[in-house]
Structures are given as structure tokens and as C-alpha cells.
A and B are shown apart, each in its own frame.
Chain A
């Protein structure tokens, strides 16, 4: 693997994958920081103040208490604002990763407060210790509702959580037997919610718990839920599962086994702490290899957040939530416990039209003077392609963009110039090349 050539291209790639795109100022800083400095700046965010974000959120007058129906959209507005305006984009990137990993939907949980508490849990543990995060998730009221563990009772165990914990959260199919699913489910019996208080809280009910002998992944005893997670976290397959998923999220899908093993070892060596693994992935040659660069489809959330962030929109785009619904990635409502399928499944005709129409809404409030207005159509196109990427297009596409902005080679004047520059931003964000990262 060759050395990493750190420049505007690779720095922008890092910011597309590990943040939500870079503005011109962010990109300049990242390039001059060098690879190590740029990655560390993203990953070591705990000392970075988010006061400006907090002020912005305070000024949004969000309604966050049910039963007001506004709590549902406002919960989504809150997280989108965090993603767009945070000074710690990596924190939101990882929170988003965990939301998709422990995919829980408001559609069944039905209480925004619980979803927000779970979201705060993911943010708190964004780059923290996985074992502790997993134990917290097993106690999380939203998860207990979502995967029915709140009614997992010893006489007739409910296997929903016990199974998905293994299949999706920690090990992956093929590394355990049905008997392990049964043992895991029995171990979590009695982990329920106290529904006599509002909002509901975790409660352990000893009379519901199965105290019998259980054998899980070859270890026997009167195992409880924490024992199950402890046993899982010592498994090499667990480290491979988590490291592989993190690597795929940032770099590329279906990584080579030896690449996964390298990062799995870092995960095991750090006692399942995430930060050293993600740091290593973001500094690895694989991260900047041709297999990684421009090979992923932007997810709808990435599309919405990057559009607002890179066009440096100050006001709020209220229709963002509608577009996320049309494109199938409403925050807090993944389709099922395996999360969003991602990749090429985002590429449907209806979803692309929704992206194009969202870009139209955003471009309508974009201020062209932020990017400047060059004297010719060709310079305008090159400037916008640079600011919104850099995006690389073939000469025919570049010419088509020039012909749109400046038919006959002449930029229009007056109010039409403004419309056309906004149209140019809209069109670049609508390009096939802008849908990939």
C-alpha cells in the first residue's frame, strides 16, 4: 500500500466520510494540519466547545415534550441542527453510526424522550468503550421496548433481543448456535421497564428472571445479561464484527479479512474502546485508496446535512424532514433492527428526484456572494465544482454546466445572474457525481 498523498482531495474525502463535508475554511485548515493533525482534530473533539451550537438550538424554540405533536418533527430538527452546525462533526458521525448499529425506531417506541435519551447515550459513548455501551443499551428503556425484552419472562422467554444482540449488535450470523440464542434470551429475562413512572425507566424483576444453568458460547453457569455481554466481548469474532463494520462505514464495504484483523486487534488491545480503532482507520492507507475514494453512495441524511453545511446555509430548511421521509432515511425511524440497507439501495428514481428537489429548496436561500461571482461562466463552474467537492466531472458535463450558466458564453446580468448562480449550485448538487462520496 502506497503512502498517503495528503492534499485537498484526500482532506475533502476525510471530511465527507468522517464529518459532513468541509467548508472552504475547514478544508484549508485540514490540508495545512496534515493527515495526523486533521484526523486527531476530528477524533479528539472532547475539548472543543459547542457553545455556538447550543445557542442556535436554544433559539430554535423546539417543542420536545409529548403529547404535543410537534415533538416528533422537532426531535428530528434538533439532531439535524447538531449535524449541520456542530463544532464536533465526528461526534455526530459516530452517534449516527450507533443509531444505525443499534437501530431503534420511534415507530414502535412511541416516546420521543426515550429516543432522545438513547441518542444522548450514543453521543456519550460515541468513541467510548463498546462493552459498557452495550451494557447500557441492554438497560436502555427504548431498546427494551423496541426488541420486547421488557416482556422477556422466564416461563416463555421472548427471543427478540437475545437473538439480535448476537446476530446484529455483536457477532454476526454463523458464529453462534440456536442454543446460544436461547441461553442469551434466558439470561436477559427480567430486564424490563418500570411503566408506573413517566418516562419509563429500567427495572430488574427477579421473579421474572431465569436463575437456571445456561451454556453460552461454551461457558456455563447461572449467567445473567452482563455475563453474556462479557463473554461476547472476549470473542475474536466480536472484535472482527465491530472493526469490520466501522471500517466499512468509513472506508469501503467487504474489506479484506486481513485488513479487518488488523483493526480488530486494536479493538481487542484497547479493551473494546472505539477511539483507537477509528483513529487508526482514518489514518490508514486503505482509507484513501481507490477502493475507498468516491465509491460510496451518499445516504439521504448525508445528502441533506452536507448540502446545508457546504452551502453554509444559516436559516433552517424546514422541509428537510419531508425529504428524508421521501428518501427513506428519517432519523429515529430506521426500517428495522438491521438499520438502513444503504449503498445502492438509496439509488432509486423517486429518491433521486427528492434529492434534486431538496437541493432546489436549499439553493433558493443560498447566498451566491459567499462563493463570489467570477467574471466568466467557465470560471463560475470551476469555482462551484471546487467549493462543493472538489467534484470531478467529465468535459461534456462541465460544458453543459457552462452552457446553462452562461448561454453563448456570456453570464447574464441583474437578477438573472443570481438565479443562475443558485441554479448552478442546485445543478451541481443534483449531479450523479454529487450523490457519491
Chain B
């Protein structure tokens, strides 16, 4: 086949399909990737209730604002004299004590307006005028810093749509749910005809169109066809770590993270993996009432339990694979929720919240920012005191590599939550 640079850029998932390209070129491209580093984004969709996640349990105002929803002291997983974790987060508490988990308090931006959709777009684009910025912040990073030879941006676990945070112009993300469905089927009764069909269709997707929407579809398809080759040669899922809670099936988040670990272990240079957990818009029934199990049970508890156990399994998985010095996780939600509960055992849209970070390279076992100030609220909501772009700037500067300023449009404070310099532990590869 004719190898054009364009086909090379768009034709691979994140790395190189070695079957397609000269081995030496592919190997050089791999070496030039993000230094083998991966950032996993966990987007908590709907607006996570920060105050019942990282609980200021010694503040009496927490309890008075939430007569029904506050978590009883005895059940809170205390991490220090001010903050305790939600009882469902045992795994993350353990990781906090192992200094691999941290969080940043009072994160937000000046124009937080309680709209899910605008706030999600602001977080994704790192712009408070998101309508004018078609690319995501990680897409802009990839456009600037991804090696020219191929796209290191691949998002995993999101099949339904491309997360706006990784939307880019030079590189294309790949989306999938699982490897099994990720293939071109042909005539089931006639393998020769099926194979003829596949190669004809692949050929048609190779040559660029005049432009417009059809060519975007073509590029994405061509990328997908190449990704098939890579994904069907990934290392198997972990046989050591069970992503399922005892007696339960693996959750969709667990499946996404399990596949993310396979992608990372595949060594294809995937720089960014984006997974989501939906359901945090807990206007109602956030927790159960006293007769139904109490405030430490219910919807929010099961979401945080899924989050905690899936992330804990993921961290163990990559540790067993000896890759934990190459991976960090950032978790965010579009906004937090009102300090005062509503009458439906729920909470309404709020403002500033918390971002969490997980990974061996994280300076964990501590939290960054001021304590939550329940005495100084903005219309009943936590005020933003740390711009979310500081979290991004820190992540770009100290993890992904590159200058945050052209990506974020301004200089932002480095929060220092990522270990710089030498590796913390020797890892055998």
C-alpha cells in the first residue's frame, strides 16, 4: 500500500498497527510517544455531591444543612481531623493512606451557573466561552504535542459519542465499548465473500474525500479499521485482579477501566483514556431514609462504591502489570451540589466541588486547597477558590508534558500534586 503521512496519522488508534507499517518507523514513533505515560480521565456525570464524598465531618454546619443526608460520624471513613470519606469509599481510603490518592478542594470557575451542559462544556474545553472552542483541552494538547507520526489520543469506554474533552483537529480519538463487537462482520455463511467485502470496504475508506462531513466519517472509519488490528492483539484482561465486587457482575465502569489497563499494557502509546460514570444528578433519593437503611446507603453510596472499587481494582491491575509509574487518573464532575438538602432526600445543582487524583506518581495522602467553608457560600453553594485550569496546568506540565499556557490560554498555578523527577519505585518492564 502507499503510505502517506496523512494515512499514517489518521490510520492508527494510538500507536501503530505493526502489520501496516514498516517496523522501524513504528518503533521510533512508539519511542517518541508521551514517554509511555497515560492520563485516565474519569468524568462523573450529573454533578457529584462533594460534601458527601469528602465530608467535613467536624463542621456542625454540615449536619445542620443536611438533617436527612449527612452521614453519621461513626460510619465516616476519617482521613484526618477535618475530612472523612463516604463509607462506600473504603478502597480509596486505603489508597489515600498508601499516598496514591489525593483531592483538590473548592475547584471551579468564576462563571459556574448550575447548568449541566454549559459546565460540562467548560470543563471539557477549559474555556468559559465553550461555544467558541470546538476542541477539548486534551484535544488541544494532542494537536500541539502528540508525535506527528500518529495519534496518541484514544478514549476508551465511551462508544456512544466522542467526549468533548478529547475532540481535536489534527488527531482523532477512538471510541469503543469492548473488543468483541469491534470488528467488521460480513456474509456469515461464506468466509471468502466476507473477506472480499472487508478488503473492498477498507480500500474505499482509504482515499480521502473532497472534504465535508463525509471525509470526517471516512477518517474515523479508517481509524477504526486500523484500531481493529491493534485491539485484537491486546494483552488479555487481568487474571489476578477481579473488577467485580463479591457476588456482583463487573460494572460498566469496571469494564471500561479493565479495558483501559489492557490498552496501557498494549504499549501502543495511548496518552489519554476517557471513561465516564453517569448518575450523579441526585435531586432525589440521593440516600435512603432512616427506614430504608439510612443516609450512608442509596444511590450516591452505590455510585461512590462503584467508583471506589473499580478504581481500586484498576490501580492494583496496573501495579501487577508493573505499569503504575506510567499512569495517573483524574476525576472531575461538572459541578457540586447545594449545601442544603432539598425535601426529596436529594440535593440541587451547586457550584464548586473537588477533583481527585489517583496513581503511584501522585503525591497522595494529602489534600490540596482550603477546607470547605460552609460559612461563606454563594447562594447556598461552595465558592470556587481554585480555578480548575490549575489542575489541568499541573497535569500538563508535570505529567503529559508540554507548556500549559498555549493550551489553556493563560498561566495557572501549579498545585504540585504530581511527583516530579525520579521514579518512586523501580519497575521491571
Contacts and interface: CB of A to CB of B under 8 A. Distances in A.
A350 B182 contact: yes
A396 interface: yes
B373 interface: no
Given A348-B175, A356-B184, A433-B214, A155 B343 contact: yes
Given A151-B343, A156-B341, A159-B348, A427 B197 contact: yes
A257 interface: no
A40 interface: no
Contacts of B184: 353, 356-357
Interface in A50-84: none
B343 A349 contact: no
B78 interface: no
B9 to A, nearest CB: 15
B177 interface: yes
Interface residues of B, number: 64
B181 A353 contact: yes
A294 B342 contact: no
Contacts of A433: 209, 214
A416 B343 contact: no
Contacts of B223: 349
Contact of B213 (A151, A344, A349): A344
Contacts of B176: 349-350
Contact of A354 (B162, B181, B188, B348): B181
B59 interface: no
A357 B159 contact: no
A360 B214 contact: no
B214 A158 contact: no
A143 B116 CA distance: 18
B161 A345 contact: yes
Nearest to A329: B160
Contact of A419 (B187, B283, B379): B187
Given A148-B344, A433-B214, A347 B185 contact: no
A341 B121 CA distance: 12
Contact of A432 (B115, B209, B341): B209
Nearest to B223: A349
A160 B182 contact: no
B220 A158 contact: no
Interface in B211-234: 212-218, 220-221, 223-224, 227-228
A173 B181 contact: no
Given A350-B181, A432-B205, A160 B214 contact: no
Interface string B132-164: 000000000000000000000000001111100
A178 B379 contact: yes
Contacts, number: 183
Contacts of A167: 115, 117
Contacts of B364: none
B201 A430 contact: yes
Nearest to A168: B117
B204 interface: yes
Contacts of B173: 348
Interface of B is mostly: loop
Nearest to B214: A432
A310 B158 CA distance: 30
A352 B220 contact: yes
A156 B69 CA distance: 14
Nearest to A254: B131
Given A156-B342, A353-B184, A364-B187, A423 B207 contact: no
Interface string B78-118: 00000000000000000000000000000000000111111
Given A158-B343, A350-B177, A432 B160 contact: no
Interface in A124-152: 147-148, 151-152
B348 A160 contact: yes
B188 A158 contact: no
Interface string B330-374: 000000000011111010110000000000000000000000000
Interface stretch (A8-16, A92-100, A369-377, A397-405): A397-405
B181 A352 contact: no
Nearest to B167: A344
Given A173-B115, A400-B204, A426 B224 contact: no
A419 B190 contact: yes
Interface of A is mostly: helix
Contacts of B224: 348-350, 352-353
A436 interface: yes
Interface residues of A, number: 62
A431 B204 contact: yes
A295 interface: yes
A403 B204 CA distance: 11
Contacts of A347: 162, 216-217, 220
Interface in A372-429: 394, 396-397, 400-401, 403-404, 416, 419-420, 422-423, 426-427
Contact of B284 (A158, A423, A432): A158
Contact of A344 (B162, B175, B340): B162
A423 B227 contact: no
B381 to A, nearest CB: 11
B275 to A, nearest CB: 14
A353 B221 CA distance: 8
Contacts of B228: 353
B200 interface: yes
Contact of A158 (B113, B210, B218, B283): B283
A422 B187 CA distance: 9
Contacts of B117: 167, 338
27 contacts: A158-B343, A158-B344, A159-B348, A160-B284, A163-B114, A173-B113, A295-B213, A296-B213, A347-B216, A349-B175, A349-B221, A350-B159, A351-B159, A351-B160, A351-B175, A353-B181, A353-B182, A353-B228, A360-B187, A394-B209, A394-B210, A397-B204, A397-B207, A404-B200, A427-B200, A433-B209, A435-B213
Given A326-B181, A338-B116, A435-B214, 8 more contacts: A155-B343, A156-B342, A348-B175, A349-B174, A349-B224, A354-B181, A357-B185, A435-B217
**Which A-B residue pairs are the 10 nearest by beta carbons?**
A328-B160, A349-B224, A151-B344, A345-B161, A156-B343, A348-B175, A404-B200, A432-B217, A432-B218, A350-B159
